[in-house]
């Protein structure tokens, strides 16, 4: 049963679905049916240390760097139009494999070339981001981007974080101006 996620709320993944080991962050949207540039949404993940920064640039998982060095976080591929049913992009996280030095994994969604294409989430039909338990495919949390983030072009979805031997997920739901570059820089990536 999906938990309705309001900004700032947090969900204990271990409590929600005990025995959780692999989760999928899924990003979906409808391909554009009107004329104009395609809607290209990108999911990204950042493996962060105790001060909220990446340990190295390889901790920035995105369409050009699909696997973390330890194999714990894997980006399933870049979908540039949103065509296809279900999640159009996904990042899977094997919680057991996440190394000790990583305290958090942050997830973001951005619109590629949003400024040039003059696009925002509100113009994209049925855009969402969600977290799913890989073992049973059950959705744990979801945000409706088209509806609730309509004038944004990028947003920080949430963070997986360690807390007393458990993994928790904190929904952040914060818009971010400027796109993937500035977002990555924010986490200490050398862009």
Partner 1 sequence: MGAVVLMPGANTDIPKCRQVAVVVGWDPKFSPGMEIDASSFLVGADGKVPSDAYFVFYGEQSSPDGSVRFLSSPSTGVDFDVQAFDVDLDKVPAQVEAIDVCVTIHEGQVRRQSFANLKGVFARLVDSVSGREIARFDLHVDGMKETAITLAKVYRRSGQWKFRAVGQGFAGGLAPLARRYGVDVANEIPSPPVSESKVRLEKRLVDLEKKAPHLVSLAKKASASVDKFHLSGTVCRVGLVLDASGSMLRQYQQGRVQEVVDRIFPLAVHFDDDGSLDVWAFAEKSRELTPLTSDSVKSYVDREWGGWQKWMRVLNSDINYEPAVIRAVIDRYRGTFTTQAVQPVYVVFISDGGVGSDKEIEKLLIKASQLPIFWQFVGIGGSNYGILRRFDTMQGRFLDNCNFFSLDDLHSVTDQELYDRLLAEYPEWLKEAAAKGIIRG
What's the closest the beta carbon of residue 173 comes to partner 1, in angstroms? 16
What would you report as the CA-atom Rg of the chain, rounded to the nearest whole angstrom? 15
> Is 69 strand, coil or helix?
coil
* Minimum CB distance to partner 1 smaller for 24 or for 146: 146
- Which is it for the CA torsion 162, 175, 148, 91, positive or negative? negative
Distances in Å between the alpha carbon of 49 and those of 43, 46, 87? 20, 10, 28
* Minimum CB distance to partner 1 smaller for 32 or for 104: 32
Q: Which residues contact partner 1 (rule: CB under 8 A)?
A: 32-36, 118-125, 147, 150-151
What's the closest the beta carbon of residue 119 comes to partner 1, in angstroms? 8
Contact 62, 126 (CB under 8 A): no
* Minimum CB distance to partner 1 smaller for 67 or for 118: 118
What's the closest the beta carbon of residue 103 comes to partner 1, in angstroms? 35
């Amino acid at each position: 049963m999906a938990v309705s996620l309001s900004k700032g709320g947090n969900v204990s993944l271990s409590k929600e679905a005990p025995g959780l080991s692999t989760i999928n962050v899924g990003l979906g949207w409808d391909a554009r049916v009107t004329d104009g540039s395609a809607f290209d949404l990108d999911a990204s993940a950042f493996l962060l240390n105790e001060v909220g920064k990446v340990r190295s640039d390889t901790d920035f998982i995105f369409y050009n760097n699909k696997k973390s060095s330890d194999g714990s976080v894997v980006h399933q591929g870049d979908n540039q139009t949103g065509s296809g049913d279900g999640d159009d992009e996904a990042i899977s996280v094997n919680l057991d494999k996440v190394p000790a030095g990583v305290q958090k994994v942050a997830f973001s969604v951005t619109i590629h070339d949003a400024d040039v294409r003059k696009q925002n989430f509100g113009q994209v039909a049925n855009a969402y981001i969600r977290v799913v338990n890989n073992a049973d495919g059950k959705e744990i949390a979801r945000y409706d981007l088209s509806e609730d983030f309509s004038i944004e072009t990028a947003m920080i979805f949430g963070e997986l974080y360690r807390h007393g031997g458990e993994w928790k997920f904190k929904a952040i739901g914060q818009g971010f101006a400027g796109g993937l570059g500035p977002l990555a820089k924010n986490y200490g990536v050398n862009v």
